[in-house]
Amino acid sequence: MEETQVLLQRLKARNTKLIVITGGVCSSLGKGVLISSIGVLLKSADYAISVMKLDPYLNIDPGTMSPSVHGEVFVTADGAETDLDLGHYERNFDMSLTRHSSVSAGQIYKEVLEGERQGKYLGHNIQIATHVVDVIKKRILRASLENPVDFFLIEIGGTVGDLEIEIFLESIRQLRDVLGNTHFLHGHLSYVPTLSWSGDIKTKPTQHSMNGLKRAGLVPDFLFLRTDQHIDQRALHTCSLFCGMVYDRMFQVLTHEPIFALFGDLDKQGLTSKIQAYFKIQQVRQADIGAWQSYVQRIQGSKEALRIGFIVKYISNSDPYLSVIDALKTAVYHAGYKLDLVEIVAEDLEQPEKSDRYEQAMDKLQSVVGIVVPGGFGRRGIEGKIVATRFAREHKIPFLGLCLGMQVMVIEAARSLLGLAQANSLEFDELTPDPVVTLMAEQKEVTALGGTMRLGSYPCSLVPGTKAHQAYAALQVVERHRHRFEVNNAYRERLSAVGVVFSGINNDLDLVEITEIADHPFMAGSQFHAEFTSGPLKVNPLFKAFVQAACQYKAQAEPVWGMAGMENIQITQPSAFSI
């Protein structure tokens, strides 16, 4: 029997139900947020769920895309570089996804073409409508069967009407035909704008989006209307009539602050029960979202701000640092504050003293009660990050370095505490006489860029009595990585002698995972991305400890307004062109 048929039979035998979400009118409507809402409600009703995202771009994965263009690259436990939406899903569902949950058109075409070279299609001409679509269906079915679940949620990236999305629409059309209403639900998210100059609610864009679906042979079962304002009954009836939708299966997806309030809103509109009714589930379960409602109340009740400095390289929007910002917000909310995130452009701290850009950046730096240096790649802005790191160390301001941020912390300590003025990372200066951060041994022969870093989850042993050990309250943890460079073990003994504490070690590979400064209230850096395992209801221990230290600093000390100790900072010029 052909594999697709076998997979379909297994899915039916397990009684797994597929819920597919498409988007219309424009991008950035929040399909990922809608999927998260549906998943939270079903999981809160005690159903087992999982999720995948299908992206129409031809890249194999987002790993080589610019963060300023595509946003943050999220890393799964098994080492896949994925879209940032998977981070939303993991955080909101409190679950660990795999590489099977992230599929791009590039992966699909690659699989088909490699199969052709291997003789898989001998005697046939390869066609999009047959072979490419079949691979997509198999990917969906395999992923849905990876774990025993009641509901499998699927987000199709892009917008209905886009050329590149058509193969995915055809795939779900064919799945719908064979699965029927007992195992398949299609929801469509569409934009309903309100004209600011007249106050009119316009459903015409949604009608056109629905027409695009109908041309693809699809009529959604549920229609989700993305809107900033409540849609009146007249407009809803118009939308129902001209879109051919059952009125009772239309839902308003309003803009909420915080966004987690959407979960309760959709539940009040009956989404949880209507999904179960659609699938003819006899014993309808209620969603218990009490923990989420308490979290929303905590957020709304947070009045006083905690001012945290964020040393950034990518400044187009917040997407390149989405998980870090979410982790900070969550930790701050749980501490009883709201986050006042002060973005400080790293390159501004590299400008000549007395220049406007430098002084404005320093004014910001002096006003915060905590400093975070996030991950990144390339030498642009590195010296500015070192300036901020030294400022945090010398003025005892709580500091958290993530991935690159930890490496910057080690470089700064080598320069300031060891007196190695030209200390650097080989990533930024291949001619440095003191490469305190060096290329990992297994990376030295690597030439390809995509998917070749140290990726995924690795164990870390914690040293008892250190701040990392106190934060995690464990002797071993597992965290996620995405990097090529590591602390150079040749310098570990010398750095330890001047107060650098290597509090987390991967014993199997003998690699530094966490670094601290001994005589500092809280100055810690992790080689891993602690933000990837921090969620709204479960804060990563390093973020929690950092925010606690910032709260104590806020309560006990005045912000540092003077520039004492900063006048001797020297910006080391790299020996190659900065990118």
| Helix-, strand-, coil-residue percentages of the chain, each rounded to 5 | 40, 20, 35
Q: How many CB atoms lie within 10 A of CB 26?
A: 14
Task: Report the C-alpha gap between 330 and 55 in whole angstroms.
Answer: 28
Closest CA to 400 of 545, 552, 499, 555: 545
- Assess if residue 562 is contained within a domain: no
The H or E element spanning position 422 is: none
pLDDT (0 to 100) of residue 200: 80
Residue 560 is given by DSSP the state -
Same domain, 284 and 332: no
Backbone torsions φ then ψ of 225, nearest 5 degrees: -105, 110
Mean pLDDT of the chain: 89
Closest CA to 102 of 65, 129, 75: 75
Residue 310, Cβ density class (10 Å: 0-12 exposed, 13-18 middle, ≥19 buried): buried
Structural domains counted in the chain:
2
pLDDT (0 to 100) of residue 575: 38
Closest CA to 520 of 536, 545, 500: 500
Is residue 553 within 8 Å of 369, Cβ to Cβ?
yes
Residue 307 sits in a domain whose CATH number is 3.40.50.880
- Assess if residue 393 is contained within a domain: yes
Closest CA to 510 of 481, 477, 480, 486: 486
- Residue 367, amino acid: S
Same domain, 246 and 389: no
SS3 per-residue string spanning 169-220: HHHHHHHHHHHCCCCEEEEEEEECCECCCCCCECCHHHHHHHHHHHHCCCCC
pLDDT tens-digit profile of 533-573? 999 999 999 999 999 999 999 988 655 544 444 444 444 44
- Look up residue 403 and give its two tokens: 């991935």
Task: Report the C-alpha gap between 13 and 104 in whole angstroms.
Answer: 28
Residue 89 sits in a domain whose CATH number is 3.40.50.300
Ranges under pLDDT 70 in the chain = 1, 67-70, 316-318, 440-452, 557-579
Residue with tokens 């704008």: 193
Out of 412, 483, 529, 551, pick the active-site residue.
Answer: 529
pLDDT (0 to 100) of residue 315: 73
Per-residue CA distances from 456 to 8, 99, 451, 459 (Å): 31, 10, 11, 10
- Assess if residue 574 is contained within a domain: no
Same domain, 216 and 316: no
Backbone torsions φ then ψ of 251, nearest 5 degrees: -130, 140
Whether this model's pTM surpasses 0.75: yes
Residue with tokens 């539940």: 267
Is residue 49 within 8 Å of 42, Cβ to Cβ?
yes
Residue % of the chain over a pLDDT of 70 = 92
Same domain, 54 and 135: yes
Domain boundary (294, 321, 348) is at: 294
Residue 129 is given by DSSP the state I
257 is known as an active-site residue: no
- Assess if residue 501 is contained within a domain: yes
- Assess if residue 570 is contained within a domain: no
Cα three-residue angle 50-262-534, rounded to 5 degrees:
55
pLDDT (0 to 100) of residue 450: 56
Is residue 61 within 8 Å of 81, Cβ to Cβ?
yes
Domain boundary (265, 294, 323) is at: 294
Residue with tokens 């379960």: 285
Same domain, 187 and 89: yes
Same domain, 13 and 89: yes
- Assess if residue 564 is contained within a domain: no
Per-residue CA distances from 42 to 153, 290, 553 (Å): 10, 14, 41
Task: Report the C-alpha gap between 420 and 422 in whole angstroms.
Answer: 6
Same domain, 285 and 147: yes
Task: Report the C-alpha gap between 89 and 51 in whole angstroms.
Answer: 8
Instruction: Give residue 494's domain range.
Output: 302-556
- Assess if residue 566 is contained within a domain: no
Same domain, 7 and 103: yes
- Residue 528, amino acid: F
DSSP string, 511-549: EEEEEEETTSSSEEEESS-GGGG-BTTB--HHHHHHHHH
186 is known as an active-site residue: no
Same domain, 195 and 100: yes
Task: Kindly state the greatest CA–CA separation across the chain.
Answer: 77
481 is known as an active-site residue: no
Same domain, 395 and 272: no
Same domain, 45 and 135: yes
348-381: buried (b, 16+ CB within 10 Å) or exposed (e) per residue?
bbbbeeeeeebeebbebbbebbbbbbbbbbebbb
Domain boundary (294, 325, 350) is at: 294
- Assess if residue 278 is contained within a domain: yes
Out of 403, 469, 483, 551, pick the active-site residue.
Answer: 403
Same domain, 31 and 66: yes
pLDDT tens-digit profile of 247-258? 999 999 999 989
